[in-house]
Amino acid sequence: MELNQELLSQIGLLAAAVLTLITLSYAIGDHPLFRLALYLFIGVAAGYAAAVAVQDIVLPQLVFPILNEVAGTPSLDLVELGVRSLLAVLLFAKLSPRTARLGNPVTAMLAGIGAALAIGGAVQGTLLPQIGAAAGTFDVASFELALQGGYYGEGIRIIFDGVVVLLATVSTLAYFHFGAASRGKQEPLRSIFIDALAWAGSVFIAIALAALFSGVLLAALGALIERLAFLREVALMFMGAP
């Protein structure tokens, strides 16, 4: 179904501009038009995402092979098709509370696979490399070069940077350490050393959170710039400006 491309484009720009203005007006306060735009967005986003998943995965991987099998032109191994169909049926059992328990093995399989992949990724991709990075904080090669060249100030700066980064890493981990030795009948207390590290960790965590906050703020600012630039273009277009 092909419609007039130009007309559709014009209507689309107008719709996008109106929706943008309505959504930006939330800065002043909540109102019914904003809620309407929000519900419209949720419906469209959910429908689109599910449709892409259905059209690109479910239909070619499950529905069409079943239809081909029924039509006598199998496109997939029968065992493989059977397993896929069974898994799909069990997962759809989750729709009804009475049969929801039938879908537990399927969700359990997904959970087990996800957990294994997360473990593998966390260990191989984050834990070991980050521990390696923390261990190699001190740029020893640069330090030697600085000493050889007589740049003692530079050498001290390299050492100081390394100490700061290592302290930031260790103290951040110490902040979340809540273990304490038992003191018999007295209340358990963290050691003074851990307490001091945790205090330093709170300072570094505040800095890290500020970095994250500034990142989100700048990203939002970039989105605002793009939206206002879009509104300007639409306004110029409808005003007939070049």
Partner 1 sequence: MPTQPVQDPEENLPDWLRALRKRQSQEPSEGLGAENAPSDLPAAASEPEPRQEPSWLQEIRARYKKTTGSLPATEGTELGDTQPHRVKAADQAPVEETPAAEETQPPMEEPQAVKETPPAFEEEIPESQDEESGAEETIKPSYTPAFTEDQVPIDPGVLPSWLQALRPGGSYPTEDARSGEMLPGVEETSGPLAGLSDVLPADASIARVEKPPVYSARLEVTENQGLHAAVFIKMLDETEPPPVDEAHRVARPTRVLNLIMATVLFLSVLFPLVTQSQTAGLPDPQLFPEATNVYSLIDGLPAGAPVLVAFEVQPALNGEITPLAIAILGHLLDRQAQLVFISTRPSGPALAERMLQEQFSAVPAVATGAYTQLGYLSGGLAALRSFISDPRGATLSTMSAGADAWQNSSLDPIRGINSFALIVVVSSNAEDARAWIEQGAGVLPNGLVAVTSAQAAPLLRAYLQSDPLTLLGLVSGIQGAALYERLRAQDGGLGRAYWDAYSYGIGAIMLLILLGGLYGRLIRMKPEKPITSGAARGT
Partner 2 sequence: MNLRVNTPFAAAVAIAAGLFMLASLFIPGLEEPRNRVLNWAVLLAALAMLLGLANLFTVHFDKVRNKQQPAYSAVLILAMLIAFGLTVWEGSQAQLPSWIFNNIQSPVEASLMAVLAISLTLAAARLLQNRNDLMSIVFVMALFILLVGSGPLFGIEIPFFTSVLGPYVSQFLSTGAMRGLLIGVALGTLLTGLRILIGADRPYGG
Residues 6+ apart with CB under 8 A from 170: 134, 197
The gap from C-alpha 169 to its chain's centroid, in whole angstroms, comes to: 23
Q: Is 32 or 186 the residue whose CB approaches partner 2 more closely? A: 32
In whole angstroms, what is the distance from residue 231 CA to residue 236 CA?
Answer: 8
Q: 67, 78, 113, 189: which one contacts partner 2 (CB under 8 A)? A: 113
Q: Is 36 or 218 the residue whose CB approaches partner 1 more closely? A: 218
Q: 1, 3, 27, 192: which one contacts partner 1 (CB under 8 A)? A: 27
Q: Is 43 or 152 the residue whose CB approaches partner 1 more closely? A: 43
Q: Is 104 or 130 the residue whose CB approaches partner 1 more closely? A: 130
Alpha helix ranges (H) inside 93-191:
104-121, 128-135, 140-148, 152-175
41 binds partner 2 (CB under 8 A): yes
Q: 213, 232, 233, 235: which one contacts partner 2 (CB under 8 A)? A: 213
Residues 6+ apart with CB under 8 A from 175: 197, 198, 201, 202, 205
In whole angstroms, what is the distance from residue 132 CA to residue 134 CA?
Answer: 5
Q: x/- string (CB under 8 A) for partner 2, residues 157-196?
A: ----x--xxxxxxxxxx--x--------------------
Cα of first residue to Cα of last residue in the chain, in angstroms, is 32
Give the interface with partner 1 as residue ranges (CB under 8 A).
Answer: 27-29, 48-49, 52-53, 55-57, 59-61, 110, 113-114, 117-118, 120-122, 124-126, 128-130, 132-133, 135-136, 185-187, 208, 211-212, 214-219, 221-230, 232
